[in-house]
Amino acid sequence: MARIRLKSVRFSASYTRVYAVISAWLIAWAAVHMYFERAVFSNDLWWLQYYVVNYKFGFVRRGLGGELVRIFPDAHYFTAAYAILWTSIGVWLIALAMLTWLLVSTGTWSERRIMLALVVPVLPFSFSYAAYSPHPELFGMTALLAFSISLTRVRTAPFRMILSALYGIAIAVLALIHEAIPLEFALGAILAITVLSKDATRAAQRSCAVLAVGPGIVSILMVAALGRHDLAAQLCSQVPHGMVENPWAVSTTPQKGVDYMLGRIESRVDYHDFMCDRVTPIFDADMTGAVQLVAKWGFVPLFGAFILGLLFFLGTTWMIRYFSGVPVRVFLNELRGNLALPALGAALLVPLFVTAVDWTRWWVMVAFDVAIVYVLYAIGRPEIEQPPSRKSVVILACAIIALAVIPTGAANNVGGPGSVNSFAWRAVVTRDTPNWCRDLRQMPVSCLRDA
């Protein structure tokens, strides 16, 4: 018996060295990715679009982000815009760090907790998503994670309802930065309420769901009903001038892309011209135009985006199941007899696929909704205390070594207007499309609107 215990301790010490090497590998590649995306091949120009419009000329969707920038003097416009962009990245990375700490500090020490903590940073919605795709939804992801963690800490119905109401208000406000946020995280909020509030009654869960999801839906309806669609010219007029890096304009071949990264050539664009050509025109479009764009985008690119996103979802679920030791069926058993609320959350995802073409991104958000609740559920299960096999540790090392290098978060727009997808572009280009709209590298939103 003593020999068996000694052997277990020896294996544990050996695995600890493996975990330390994996951690160092993660940190090193995180630094590489962040440096590459921010300094070598920065795509910040595209993400600043979410903070371009404001309420100066009237109520318009996504105007709150621009209002935050407008608080500051015009001379500090770019400083403020970049600060908000970096804040979205920073708060999500802090939230991920808190989740990782929670994984390793909850309950008794176990190797599966360490393995799960190492897996989380390489999931498609995790670090690389923040580095390569810093949408405003990073704020919503942070809010949902905080809400889910809080539900595991409270034990009384009044506190759950207060938490749900606060979360609902936060999501309703974020809907004014991006109208998709309440729909993206409705499923996650409902799963958190249903699975993590185990001792709550069905009636209490329904009340919490209304408080958590309802305000965001109301906010979306308000934006749809009151948002103006005739302000593109005015919105363009208040966008400041300034030269910003635009690497995609010159990266027409792999060699030119390398030349840009090595500093042999430069590529800068006027911020005003870029946003007025590609961003502000979409604010004259309505829901019908969005649905028509999806219909014209083509079966092949949408199907490809859907399959890639589905693979992200399945891979994420498998990794949590395999390294935590908690079967998916055990997790799903928590929903038995109470499927109405999760079905409602899933139904709220449908408008995203109907009105926008970045289907991979929506699947990544579905993976996030499920994964966060699955992880928080798993760390309270007895299965996670079981020691892993040598094979599991080897698979962990191989998976993280590969996924730390691959920027999975950069793939979230496959099939969308931000992706370089020739098949998708050909699907919307017609014989009546102007020649200057046919260049895939230019891809202005005004062309998409008129396609």
- Given this model, what pLDDT does residue 4 score? 36
What is the rounded distance in angstroms from the CA atom of residue 382 to the CA atom of residue 380?
7
What is the rounded distance in angstroms from the CA atom of residue 95 to the CA atom of residue 87?
12
> What average pLDDT does this structure show over 381-386?
92
Is residue 14 pLDDT above 70, yes or no? no
> What average pLDDT does this structure show over 96-116?
91
Which own/partner contact pairs does 243-246 have at CB distance under 8 Å and 24+ positions apart? 243/268, 243/269, 243/270, 243/271, 244/44, 244/45, 244/48, 244/78, 244/268, 244/269, 244/270, 244/271, 244/274, 245/42, 245/44, 245/45, 246/45, 246/274
pLDDT tens figures, 119-134: 999 999 999 999 999 9
pLDDT-based confidence at 110, cuts 50/70/90?
Answer: confident
Q: Over pLDDT 70: what percentage of the chain?
A: 88
pLDDT tens figures, 208-232: 999 999 999 999 999 999 999 899 9
Is residue 420 pLDDT above 70, yes or no? no
